[in-house]
Amino acid sequence: MSNIPFNDKRGNRVGVDLSEAVDREDKYKEAHGEWCDDLEASRDLNPKDKRGYAFILRWYEGWRLGNNLESSVASARAFWRAEVMEKPRETWQLDEWAAGMRWYKRWLELCMQEYGYVPKSLEEKVRRAVISTGKRRGLSPRTIKCYANWAGRYAGWVGERKRVLDPVMARKWLTRLVEKEKVSYSTQKQGLNSLAFLFKDVAGWNEVDLGVHFRKRSSHIPTVLTVDEVKRVFARMEGKYRLAAELQYGAGLRLKELLGLRVKDVDLERKTVTVRQGKGRKDRVTVLPDNLVERLRAQLDEARLVYNADRERNAEGVHLPDALARKMPMAGQSWLWFWIFPAIRETRDPISGVTRRHHMHEAGYSKCMKKAAATAGIDKRMTTHVLRHSFATHLLEGGTDLRTIQDLLGHDNITTTEIYTHVVKNVGGSGVKSPLDGF
C-alpha cells in the first residue's frame, strides 16, 4: 500500500512515494546500520561510554531535526555552540560529550568514504517527506513543523519502514497518546491531523481510517486582567515592546497576528488593523485605538530607517507566503510588505535557508511581558494571549454585543466568544451577588 502514488486532478504525480524515499539507503542499513546501531556494536567502547555518547548524540539529533539541518560536522559544531556552551558545564560533562562528538565526526567521515552519503533515520526520512509535501501544499511554516514533528515521532515509535503506513499501527499510536500519555484534546488533534496528512497527502492514500476515541476537551475559563492590572503591566514595559502590547490588547490580536503585521495592514487614517490569513486562514478587520495612532506613526518611521538600510545594501526581502512569492517575487523588497516591528538583526529562514530580516521575535516580547507582570505584582498566569482575553472581556463589560466581539476576534462560532460571559464582572453580567454580601 505504501507504493500508491498521489496524483492531482490532471493526472500528474505530485505526491511522495514513501517507499522510494526510504529504499535508497536500505543497502547501507543492511550492511552497516545507523549511528545508534554502530555505537551499540562498537567493541572499543565500554557500556558507560556508550551511554554517555548516546546521550549527547540524541540531544544533537533532536536539535538538528528541530532546526531542519543535515547531519554534518558543521551542524554538530553549531549545536555545540548553541546548546552545550550556552551555560557553564562540569568538566567531566564536557570531556565526555566532546568524546562523543568526536566519535560521531569519525563515523560521518567513514560513511562518506565508504558509501558517499550519510544515512538518515526512519524518523528523519518521514519528517523530510512531510516537510517537502507541506511546502508544495502551501502550508504555513508552523503547520509544516508541527506535522513533521508528529509524523517523525510516530515513525520513530513504529521503528519499521514497512509498518509506518499501517493504519493499525497509527490507531495504536493515537490510542496510546490518549490512554497512556494522557495528552490534552488539542494535542490529540494535532497528532491525528499530522498522521492524516502523512497518509493522504504524503503517501497518496485516498481513504484511511484512523478513528480513535479522544478524551473529551475540558472546559477552561480564560485568565483575564482587570483594566487596572493591564495599566500596571503596560507601565512597566518600554519602547516597542510596550507599543506592541498595547496594540495587541487594543485590537484583540493573537501573538502571531501581532508580530506578523506589515506596513500595509495598518490604516492610520481609518484607524483599522487588517489581519491577513489569521487562524483558519481568514482575513478580518479590527479596531485601532485612537491613542496609538501617533506612536504607531513614529514606529513606522523607525521601521522605515531599517528598511532603507536594508535596501541600500541590497539585502534579501522579507518573507512572503509561498504563493505570493511566486506571483510577486519582488514584493518582499517593497515598503508595503515590510514588518511594522522588524527584528534588530537578520536571521536564517529555517524553511528556505535564506538569511533575511524577520519580524520581532516572540520570545523576547513574551519574556518582557511576563517580567512586567511579575514586577507589577500580578498574581495570575500571564501570557501574551491574556491581553486578547482581556480585550474581549472588557468590551463585553462595556456593553459591546457578542456578535460584534466575535467579528473582532475572528471566531468561527459564537459559542467560542460566549466563554467570556463567564468572566465578566458580577457573574456573567447578571448582577447576582453572593448571599454573604447581605450579612
Spell out where 202-328 has E strands: 266-267, 272-275, 284-287
- Residue 70: the pLDDT is 81
Shared-domain flag, residues 82 and 212 = no
Average pLDDT over residues 296-301: 96
Average pLDDT over residues 212-227: 75
- Span 309-319, pLDDT tens digits: 999 999 988 98
In whole angstroms, what is the distance from residue 297 CA to residue 152 CA?
A: 45
Asked whether the predicted pLDDT for residue 119 surpasses 80, the reply is no
Residue finishing a domain among 115, 140, 171: 115
Set of cell numbers at residue 420? 467570556
Pick from 141-155, 213-227, 352-366: least confident: 213-227
- Residue 40: the pLDDT is 83
Residues of the chain with pLDDT > 90: what percent? 36
Burial class (CB in 10 A: 0-12, 13-18, 19+), 174: buried
- Residue 18: the pLDDT is 52
pTM greater than 0.75 (yes/no): no
Q: Which residue has the higher pLDDT, 212 or 70?
A: 70
Asked, for residue 348, whether it belongs to a domain, the answer is no
Q: How many residues does the chain have?
A: 439
Distance, C-alpha 102 to centroid of its chain? 32
Shared-domain flag, residues 32 and 3 = no
Cβ contacts of residue 86 below 8 Å, gap of 6+?
none
Asked, for residue 438, whether it belongs to a domain, the answer is no
In whole angstroms, what is the distance from residue 253 CA to residue 298 CA?
A: 21
Tell me which residue range forms the domain holding 132.
1-14+124-218
Average pLDDT over residues 251-255: 94
- Span 51-103, pLDDT tens digits: 899 899 989 988 888 777 888 888 899 999 989 988 888 899 899 999 999 99
- Top-confidence range, 192-206, 333-347, 411-425: 333-347
Distance, C-alpha 266 to centroid of its chain? 25
Instruction: Please count the other Cβ atoms lying within 10 Å of the Cβ belonging to residue 177.
Output: 22
What's the structural domain count of the chain? 2
Shared-domain flag, residues 129 and 108 = no
Asked, for residue 167, whether it belongs to a domain, the answer is yes
Q: Which residue has the higher pLDDT, 33 or 284?
A: 284
Distance, C-alpha 5 to centroid of its chain? 29
Q: Which of 422, 67, 4 is nearest to 208 (CA)?
A: 4
Shared-domain flag, residues 128 and 213 = yes
- Top-confidence range, 64-68, 289-293, 344-348: 289-293
- Residue 38: the pLDDT is 81
SS (H, E, C) 97-149: HHHHHHHHHHHHHHHHHHHCCCCCCHHHHHHHHHHHHHHHCCCCHHHHHHHHH
Residue finishing a domain among 57, 92, 115: 115
- Residue 250: the pLDDT is 94
- Residue 282: the pLDDT is 83
Sheet with 284-287, side-by-side order of all strands: 266-267, 272-275, 284-287
Shared-domain flag, residues 40 and 182 = no
- Span 136-171, pLDDT tens digits: 777 777 888 889 889 988 988 887 888 888 888 888
Asked, for residue 38, whether it belongs to a domain, the answer is yes
Asked, for residue 105, whether it belongs to a domain, the answer is yes
Average pLDDT over residues 375-388: 93
Q: What is the mean pLDDT of the chain?
A: 83
Shared-domain flag, residues 48 and 193 = no
Shared-domain flag, residues 61 and 6 = no
- Residue 291: the pLDDT is 92
- Per-residue confidence at 426, pLDDT binned at 50, 70, 90? low
Asked, for residue 415, whether it belongs to a domain, the answer is no
Set of cell numbers at residue 204? 497518496
Asked, for residue 199, whether it belongs to a domain, the answer is yes
Asked whether the predicted pLDDT for residue 10 surpasses 60, the reply is no
Asked whether the predicted pLDDT for residue 330 surpasses 70, the reply is yes
The per-residue DSSP string of 27-80 comes to HHHHHT--HHHHHHH-SSS-HHHHHHHHHHHHHHHHHHHHTT--SSHHHHHHHH
The per-residue DSSP string of 347-371 comes to EE-TTT--EE--BPPHHHHHHHHHH
Orientation of helix 91-115 relative to helix 47-66, angle to 10°: 70
Catalytic residues: 254, 279, 385, 388, 411, 420
- Residue 431: the pLDDT is 54
Pick from 71-80, 198-207, 416-425: least confident: 416-425
